[in-house]
Amino acid sequence: MGKVFLVLAAVVLTVYSLYDLVATPRDRVQHLPKWGWALLIVLAPYAGAALWLIFGVAKGRSPGSGPRKRPPRPLGPDDDPDFLRGL
């Protein structure tokens, strides 16, 4: 049962790392080209995937990350100057 778990963990980690590699923009990949990382991940499943997850992707904010601006909250009629002017 332990060997099955290790093989399953290697497969899941390899698939996840390859998916992450493909989804990562080329300008955020560090130290090796994408094909080099893919080769490393496939040939050394645990070590390659760990190296990719730790060193392969440039750290920093992605373009869409950060605090989101919330839409303005609706005001009550007594807080709306236009409504009060119409009274």
Assess contact for 9 and 45: CB atoms under 8 A.
Answer: no
Establish if 14 belongs to a structural domain.
yes
Structure tokens at 84: 């009060």
pLDDT, tens digit, for every residue of 22-77?
A: 999 998 898 999 999 999 999 998 999 999 999 988 876 555 556 777 777 766 77
User: What is the C-alpha to C-alpha distance for residues 38 and 19, in angstroms, rounded to an integer?
Assistant: 10
Establish if 25 belongs to a structural domain.
yes
Give, rounded to a whole angstrom, the gap between the first and last alpha carbons of the chain. Answer: 77
User: What is the C-alpha to C-alpha distance for residues 34 and 31, in angstroms, rounded to an integer?
Assistant: 10
Q: What is the mean pLDDT of the chain?
A: 85
- What range does the domain containing 46 cover? 1-59
Q: Give the torsion sign (CA, 70, 25, 21, 37).
A: negative
Establish if 78 belongs to a structural domain.
no
Number of domains observed in the structure of the chain: 1
Establish if 68 belongs to a structural domain.
no
Establish if 54 belongs to a structural domain.
yes
Establish if 84 belongs to a structural domain.
no
